[in-house]
Amino acid sequence: MSGQWISVEDAMKVANRSKPTIYLWAQRKLIQSRRNARGVMEVFGPDVIKAESTVVRGRPKSTARPTGYPVTRRRW
């Protein structure tokens, strides 16, 4: 699955099957900020989740962002 982008929801389902505690933690962190969403990627490993979010704290994604964070469009 290397290099393939999956939605956060899908990754959550995978994580929820094995580690419900991390699932809840990750859900909280994803809601809080993009920085923490990157932390989720590190917990699950890049092949399981590449954190994506369409809106960060109610702002469209096009606003200025720190470099080094993953940026994608949702692919359905």
Question: What pLDDT score does 39 carry?
Answer: 53
DSSP one-letter code for 63: S
Q: Could you give the 3-state DSSP secondary structure of residue 41? A: helix
Q: Average pLDDT, stretch 30-56?
A: 48
Stretch (H or E) spanning 56: strand 55-56
Q: Averaged over 18-36, what is the pLDDT? A: 53
pLDDT cut 70: percent of the chain above it:
0
Say if residue 47's pLDDT is above 50.
Answer: no
For 11, the token pair is 């990754």
Cβ contact 1:47 at 8 Å: yes
* CB neighbours of residue 21 within 10 Å: 8
Tell me, what's the pLDDT at 17?
Answer: 58
